[in-house]
C-alpha cells in the first residue's frame, strides 16, 4: 500500500510533467507552422510574371533565346498581318 501523501505527490508530478510535454509539443507545432507559412509567403511575394517581346527569328530560336536570357518560355506569333513581322513573346519569373 502506498501512503496517501506520496500518492498525491506522484499524481501532481505526473500532471505537471504531462502539461510540460503537451506545452512543448504545442510550441514545436507552432514554430513548425510559422516556419512553413513564412516560406510560402516569401514565394508568393517573389513570384511575379514579366514579359519581353522581340522580332521572331523562328520558333526554335525564340524558345532558346528566351530560355537562355531569362530562363523563361518563348513563343512566336502564329498569325500576323503581312506588313507586321512575327514577334517572339517571352514570359518569365522576375
Burial of 66 (0-12, 13-18, 19+ CB in 10 A): buried
pLDDT of res. 78: 86
pLDDT for the residue numbered 31: 55
pLDDT exceeds cutoff 80 at 54: yes
pLDDT tens digits for range 3-51: 566 556 656 766 665 565 565 666 565 655 556 655 555 555 566 899 9
How confident is the model at residue 51, as a pLDDT? 96
Round to whole Å and give the CA distance between 81 and 43: 40
Q: Is the pLDDT of residue 66 over 80?
A: yes
Q: Does this model's pTM top 0.75? A: no
Amino acid at each position: 500500500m502506498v501512503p496517501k501523501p506520496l500518492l498525491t505527490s506522484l499524481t501532481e508530478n505526473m500532471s505537471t510533467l504531462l502539461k510540460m510535454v503537451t506545452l512543448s509539443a504545442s510550441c514545436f507545432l507552432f514554430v513548425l507552422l510559422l516556419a512553413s507559412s513564412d516560406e510560402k509567403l516569401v514565394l508568393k511575394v517573389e513570384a511575379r510574371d514579366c514579359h519581353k517581346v522581340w522580332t521572331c527569328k523562328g520558333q526554335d530560336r525564340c524558345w532558346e533565346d528566351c530560355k537562355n536570357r531569362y530562363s523563361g518560355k518563348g513563343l512566336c506569333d502564329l498569325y500576323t498581318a503581312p506588313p507586321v513581322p512575327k514577334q517572339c513573346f517571352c514570359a518569365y519569373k522576375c
